[in-house]
Structure 1
Amino acid sequence: MIELGVFGGGSWATALVKILTDNKLIVNWYLRRPEQAQAIQETGRNPDYLNFVTLNTEYLRCSSQKSEVAQKSNLLLFAVPSGELPKLLADFDANWAQDKVILSAIKGTVGDEHEIPSIFLAKQLGIPNNLQGILAGPCHAEEIGHRKKTYLTIGAIDTDLQQLLRECFSGDYLDIRLSTDIIGIECAAIYKNVVGLVCGMAKGLHYGDNFLAVLVSNALAELADVLQHMGSDAEILNSSYAGDLLVTAYSVHSRNRLFGEMIGRGYSVDKAKGSMHMVAEGYGATRGLYENTRNFPIGLPVLQTAYRVLFRHMPVVTEFKLLEQKLK
Structure 2
Amino acid sequence: MLTEPKITIIGSGSWATALAKILLNNVDRIGWYFRNPESIELFQRYKHNPNYLRGVEFDIDRIEFFDDINQAFEQSDVLVLTIPSAFLNSTMSEVTVDISTKYIVSAIKGIIPEDNQIVGQYLNQKFKLPLERLGVIAGPCHAEEVALERLSYLTIACPDIRRARDFAIRLECPYIRTHVSDDIWGTEYASVLKNIIAIASGIVHGLRYGDNFQAVLIANAIQEIKRFVDKVHPITRDIKSSAYLGDLLVTAYSQFSRNRTFGTMIGKGYTTRTAQLEMHMVAEGYYATKSIHEINLEYKVNLPICEAVYNILYGGENPAAEIRRLTERLR
Shared topology, TM-score over 0.5?
A: yes
SS in 2 for 1:45: coil
Q: Aligned with 1:6: secondary structure?
A: strand
Residue from 92, 97, 104 that aligns with 2:95 = 92
Q: Is the 8 A contact 1:41 1:57 kept in 2?
A: yes
Equivalent residue number for residue 27 of structure 2: 24
Of 25, 40, 44 in structure 2, the residue corresponding to residue 41 of structure 1 is 44
**Does the CA contact (< 8 Å) of 2:100 and 2:130 recur in 1?**
no
The Cα shift of 1:64 comes to 1.0
Deviations 1:177-206 (A, max 9, x none): 100000000001111100110000011000
Separation in 2, partners of 1:98, 1:116 = 17
Deviation of 1:123 (Å): 1.8
Q: Which residue of 2 aligns with 1:293?
A: 296
Q: What whole-Å deviation, never above 9, does each CA across 1:90-116 have from its counterpart, x for those lacking one?
A: 120142x24211111111110422101
- Aligned twin of 1:62: 65
Aligned match of 1:128 in 117, 127, 130?
130
Partner SS state of residue 327, structure 1: coil
- Mapped partners of 2:53, 2:234: distance in 1: 34
1:243 match: 246
Matching residue within 132, 135, 150 for 2:152: 150
Partners of 1:21 and 1:44 in 2: how far apart? 14
Task: Tell me the equivalent position of 2:260.
Answer: 257
TM-score, L = length of structure 2: 0.96
Number of the residue aligned with 2:115: 113
Map of 1:213 onto structure 2: 215
Write the distance in 2 (CA, Å) between the matches of 1:169 and 1:34: 27
Aligned CA distance change for structure 1 residues 317 and 32 (closer, same or farther; 3 Å): same
Letter in 2 for 1:158: D
Q: Structure 1: any 5+ residue segments left out of the alignment?
A: none
Is contact 1:2–1:25 with CA below 8 Å preserved after alignment? no
Task: Look up the match of 1:275.
Answer: 278
Q: CA separation of 1:39/1:47 partners in 2, compared to 1, >3 Å: closer, same or farther? A: same
Does the 8 Å CA contact 1:104/1:135 hold for their aligned counterparts?
yes
1:47 Cα deviation from its structure 2 partner: 1.1
RMSD of equivalent CA atoms: 1.2
Aligned-partner residue type, residue 112 of structure 1: E
**1:30 to partner: Cα distance:** 0.7
In structure 2, the partner of 1:10 is 13
Q: How many Å separate the matches in 1 of 2:179 and 2:158?
A: 11
Letter in 1 for 2:155: T
DSSP-derived class of the 1:177 partner: strand
8 Å Cα contact 2:113/2:288 also seen in 1: no
Counterpart residue number, 2:232: 230
Question: Does the aligned pair in 1 maintain the 2:7–2:76 contact within 8 Å?
Answer: yes
| Alignment TM-score, normalising by the size of structure 1 | 0.97
User: Which amino acid is the alignment partner of residue 183 of structure 1?
Assistant: W
Per the alignment, in what secondary structure is the counterpart of residue 61 of structure 1? strand
Question: Is the CA contact 2:139–2:154 (under 8 Å) kept in the aligned structure 1?
Answer: yes
Deviation at 1:40, TM superposition (A): 1.6
Q: Say whether the 8 Å CA contact 1:2–1:26 is kept in structure 2.
A: no
SS in structure 1 at match of 2:155: strand
Write the deviation string for residues 10-64 of structure 1: whole angstroms up to 9, x where unpaired.
1111111111122234211110111111222332211111111112323211121
Paired with 2:119 and 2:41, the residues of 1 have a C-alpha distance of 29
- 1:68: how far off? 1.9
Q: CA deviation at 1:230?
A: 0.7
Aligned partners of 2:133, 2:111: CA distance in 1, in Å? 21
SS of 1:169's partner is coil
Displacement after TM superposition at 1:310 (Å): 0.2
Deviation at 1:77, TM superposition (A): 1.1
Counterpart of 1:139 in structure 2: which amino acid?
C
Letter in 2 for 1:136: A
- Counterparts of residues 164-243 of structure 1 (less than 5 Å): 164-233=166-235, 234-243=237-246
Amino acid paired to 1:11:
S
Structure 2: which 5+ residue stretches go unaligned?
none
* 1:225/1:69 CA distance change after superposition, 3 Å: same
The equivalent residue for 1:319 is 322
Give the AA of the match of 1:264: G
SS of the residue corresponding to residue 102 of structure 1 reads strand
Write the distance in 2 (CA, Å) between the matches of 1:199 and 1:286: 14
